[in-house]
Amino acid sequence: MSHISSPSESSLLVRDARGRYIPATADQILSAARQVVDRKMQRGADFGSSADVKAYLRAKLAGLDHEVFAVLFLDNRHRLIEYVEMFRGTLDGAPVYPREVVKEALRLNAAAVILAHPHPSGNSQPSQADKMITRELREALALIGVRVLDHFVVAGNDAVSMAERGLL
């Protein structure tokens, strides 16, 4: 016989300040998942597969209640140099400054990048603004020999690749 927990019960427990075990909140579970992903996908991780990138980005960005604009800086073999959340925004947008992305790419000696951001609204479809900033970043990064491999929009468990949609 299986045990069905009530909505207020959690099968995961965390320790409180007194050392007692209490049910974990959704935010605590998501935070722990992000830490596990960070340990699993460290410097040198291979991002050759779109499925690997989607899984990584869903774990990093799903559940955020605000937009961030993240960049995965990669070497010439598409291995991770560093994941950086470059810009933070509000519920429906984040400012993106191509100059800052170029500076970071140069600092990290990146050969390629993958762009990503969540849509807290739950709509994973790339907007016109998403397409425009992707184009601007491609042009700016091309000037220093850095390729934009993809731009992912994450909404909950869905991650849309602009490259797979022919939007790059």
Say how many domains are in the chain: 2
Higher pLDDT, 125 or 90: 125
Residues 60 and 138 in one domain: yes
Beta strands per DSSP E along 17-146: 21-23, 68-74, 80-88, 112-118
From residue 122, alpha-carbon distances to 25, 63, 129, 156 in Å are 21, 10, 16, 6
- pLDDT score of 11: 72
Sequence-distant (≥ 6) Cβ neighbours of residue 139 within 8 angstroms: none
147 domain-assigned: yes
Averaged pLDDT for residues 129-157: 95
Residue 76 and residue 122 in one domain: yes
Q: Are residues 110 and 143 in the same domain?
A: yes
Residue 150 and residue 85 share a domain = yes
| Same domain assignment for residues 31 and 69 | no
Angle at 166 between CA 157 and CA 153, to 5 degrees: 25
Looking at the domain assignment, is residue 95 inside a domain?
A: yes
Q: Is the pLDDT of residue 37 over 70?
A: no
Q: Is residue 168 part of a domain?
A: no
Tell me the average pLDDT across 145-157: 94
The range of the structural domain enclosing residue 19 comes to: 8-40
Q: For 45-96, what is each residue's pLDDT tens digit? A: 666 678 889 999 998 888 888 889 999 999 999 999 999 999 988 767 778 9
Residues 70 and 100 in one domain: yes
Closest CA to 157 of 130, 119, 131, 126: 119
Taking 70 as the threshold, does the pLDDT of residue 32 lie above it?
Answer: no
Residue 89, C-beta contacts closer than 8 angstroms, at least 6 positions apart: 66, 67, 68, 69, 95
Q: Do 28 and 65 reside in the same domain of the chain? A: no
Residue 166 lies in a domain: no
Kind and range of the H or E run holding 27: helix 26-40
